[in-house]
Structure 1
Amino acid sequence: MRRRTFYAIVSLALLSWAGLTFHLFLQRPQGKVHRSSKLNDQLDLLELELQKQLRSNEELLIKLRSLKKKNIAQEKDSKSEEIIKESNSTSVKPSPIIGVLVFSCNRITIKRNLDQLLKYRPSKEQFPIVVSQDCGHEPTTKVIQSYGDQLTLIRQPDQSDIPLVGKEKKFKGYYKIARHYGWALNKTFHGFNYDTMIIVEDDLDISPDFFEYFLALYPILKSDLTLWCISAWNDNGKNGMVAENPEILHRSDFFPGLGWMLTKDLWLELQNKWPKAFWDDWIRQPAQRKERACIRPEISRTKTFGKVGVSNGLFYEKHLKFIRLNDKFVPFTQKDLSYLKKDNYDVEFVKLVYGTPAVTVQQLTKGSLSHSNPVRVTYTSKDTFKKAAKALGIMDDFKSGVPRTGYRGVVSFLYKRRWVYLAPTAEWKGYDSTWS
């Protein structure tokens, strides 16, 4: 529109100039009588007309320059808007703030855990650390306070005794832990208003890519409603039983814990029915799990160094101390992890497992196979699973019918450098919660 105005004004100026010139030439004097007088009059008139035209042209020139400036400015603004829109459409969304909740009680060795969290944490603002202490153990409190503003200390206010009778008395520690968990999760999700939390206990070592792992899997957790947690732990992650590839990740129907991430939405779902004890077994029940899965790594991103605790070292000497901790940094945030979404994962998983040749436990343990390719061992009952698991060196227990690390009933691991799938039949209909 402004270009048309510009051209119209220029055309008008040219037409005016042409008209004036035409008029002067038509008014040429005829004859010699009074020629000098008429010529002077015409020259005077011409001078006046030229002065008018010059003033008019100057005004037109000013308008033209003004229009030109506005036109250039508008073109720049238009280009800037296009660049901004394009930039906004391709820019990366701001990184989420993910709180880290460290549970502590009376271990002054929490320093080992906190040192690692602070060493590997990429950003204080993105990963604020909250240490929640129970027990009121002052030496531990002083260790935590020594970190100053690098973290936030909160203290469980309810230190009252929990009255129990009979056999329950020996499980008082589990009751206190559940009470502490419930209070601290309420405090961080509602008091601090965090949207997502990573749960850590004070006796865990972490890997160099601990934060990278959770940050990369955050979008998957938020977008795939068939997931309810991201865990850093592999229950069968002992040396010799994991692949030499720290990039491998799995879906699992078994809630692993020991360094895990949940959202506020999940806490809102669980908070009003939080159990009085044994929260981790409770959370594995069908009423809580609702057929949802977790993501777990092939090589654990956490490892416990707490031999002594409420479990009195249960499983530590025989199992936990052999768990392998990843020592390599994997840039997970630069990788496409969409294959972990259920719609993408399940088809390939079933095809892979049941496309693998079936063998017996005896063939595996005796080394009678002539190849080193992946194999499948079939179980048809709780007892056949347990026998195979014990023979092959993996955890053989169930929680609400789900074997540790299992997905669609399948437990995958390495045995003598060979991938093994301990799997139900292809007609598997789901978990039997009576298997425990």
Structure 2
Amino acid sequence: MARRDPPYASLLTGTLCLLIFVELVWVQLRFASVLPGNQRDAVNSVARDVGVSHAPLHQDPPSLLNPAIIVFCYDRPGYLNQTLTSLAALPELADFTLYISQDGNHTGVQGVIETHRAALAALTAGFESWQRPRVPQLGPRQPGHAWLAQHYKWGLDRLFLKGGHSHAVIVEDDMLFSPDFLTLFMETGWLLDADPTLWCISSWNDNGFSKDHDWDPTRLFRTSYFPGLGWMLSSRLWEELGPAWPQQHWDHWMRMEGVARGRDCVVPEVNRNRNIGEVGANMDRAAFR
């Protein structure tokens, strides 16, 4: 006999979809309200089309209890210097504790951190730098993605389990940031606690091409594909993921259905960070912002 849903199932599903849609439009309105005035019109027109009140524009989103930013780095002092300079220019940095987690003890990287230490300590809610002992868990010839996965596990355990932070924004040492990079997380981070169907906020849109597309810089949307590359997670999610964290290919693991379990990430149409590292085999830098 074919399985039949109870008669109210479609009604519940439709109601849930509507609530999730209205929720995200509310966040778009909030996000648009903190951008320059000439960028708000597109999002406001979306609100009018779906009948959402403009009242949320005058309300503040719930504050993040104790947010942090963690910069993962290894042996690229030139890139790290650019990343830290870009971070230091963000006005919302004062609301975050900043951690720099170094894999090993590369002296050039240490020098860059020391150069920025005083300024970053003054600009943030707190500042620390760490060095992780480089002990391979998969043998001395383990690949680079294994070192990175193991570094993530070590750094996020320290941030959440010892630091007691509520949310963390994860970046790496080859990223530059838009002026509203942290605004995105301040305006949307509360959704991770309010909506169990969401598990991350990302500043990166894999389809955010710079050519032949007319993107709206104020628009946000949900995606089932984990984007990474400048993203936020909550302490509650780390309690779930941390004990099972893989020793390699952490980002591919995040995209497995058994890990994601149908949850989405919120991403912007227009990317809020830019990667300045070497071009990969499957990436054409000229096509991305």
Do they fold alike, i.e. is TM over 0.5?
Answer: yes
Instruction: Count residues with an aligned counterpart.
Output: 223
Q: Is the 8 A contact 2:137 2:247 kept in 1?
A: no
Provide Cα deviations, 1:290-315, integer angstroms capped at 9, x if missing partner.
1000011111001100016xxxx322
Query: Secondary structure of 2:282's match?
Result: coil
Correspondence for 1:143 among 112, 131, 148? 112
Correspondence for 2:253 among 282, 286, 291? 282
Matched, 1:115 2:85: yes
Matched, 1:104 2:73: yes
Question: 2:208, 2:185 → 1: CA distance?
Answer: 18
Instruction: Call closer, same or farther: CA 1:92–1:238 in 2, change over 3 Å.
Output: closer
Q: Partner amino acid for 2:287?
A: F
Percent of aligned pairs sharing the same letter: 33
Correspondence for 1:95 among 63, 68, 89? 63
Provide Cα deviations, 1:113-141, integer angstroms capped at 9, x if missing partner.
111111013242x1121110003211111
Which structure 2 residues correspond to residues 208-223 of structure 1 after superposition, within 5 A? 208-223=179-194
Q: Is the 8 A contact 2:174 2:276 kept in 1?
A: yes
Correspondence for 2:202 among 212, 215, 231? 231
Matched, 1:153 2:153: no
| Equivalent residue number for residue 11 of structure 2 | none
| Equivalent residue number for residue 36 of structure 1 | none
Bigger-Rg structure (1/2): 1
Q: Partner amino acid for 1:95?
A: S
| Equivalent residue number for residue 378 of structure 1 | none
Which structure 2 residues correspond to residues 309-324 of structure 1 after superposition, within 5 A? 313-316=280-283, 319-324=284-289
Instruction: Call closer, same or farther: CA 1:221–1:241 in 2, change over 3 Å.
Output: farther
Q: Is the 8 A contact 1:162 1:172 kept in 2?
A: no
Q: Partner amino acid for 1:148?
A: R
Deviation at 1:174, TM superposition (A): 1.3
Give the unaligned 5+ runs of structure 2: 1-57, 121-126
Q: Is the 8 A contact 2:61 2:190 kept in 1?
A: no
Instruction: Call closer, same or farther: CA 1:270–1:161 in 2, change over 3 Å.
Output: closer
Question: 1:91, 1:115 → 2: CA distance?
Answer: 32
Provide Cα deviations, 1:225-257, integer angstroms capped at 9, x if missing partner.
100000111112111254342011110000000
Question: 2:177, 2:59 → 1: CA distance?
Answer: 31
Question: 2:286, 2:106 → 1: CA distance?
Answer: 26
Question: 1:198, 1:293 → 2: CA distance?
Answer: 17
Deviation at 1:93, TM superposition (A): 7.5
Instruction: Call closer, same or farther: CA 1:174–1:240 in 2, change over 3 Å.
Output: same
Query: Secondary structure of 2:89's match?
Result: helix
Q: Is the 8 A contact 1:242 1:299 kept in 2?
A: no
Question: 1:154, 1:321 → 2: CA distance?
Answer: 34
Deviation at 1:155, TM superposition (A): 1.1
Question: 2:220, 2:154 → 1: CA distance?
Answer: 32
Correspondence for 2:101 among 132, 141, 144? 132
Instruction: Call closer, same or farther: CA 1:241–1:193 in 2, change over 3 Å.
Output: farther
Question: 2:208, 2:152 → 1: CA distance?
Answer: 26
The TM-score, its normalising length taken from structure 2, stands at 0.72
Instruction: Call closer, same or farther: CA 1:268–1:307 in 2, change over 3 Å.
Output: same
Instruction: Call closer, same or farther: CA 1:105–1:205 in 2, change over 3 Å.
Output: same
Instruction: Call closer, same or farther: CA 1:198–1:186 in 2, change over 3 Å.
Output: same
Q: Is the 8 A contact 2:62 2:190 kept in 1?
A: no
Calculate the aligned-residue CA RMSD, in Å. Answer: 2.0
Question: 1:123, 1:179 → 2: CA distance?
Answer: 27
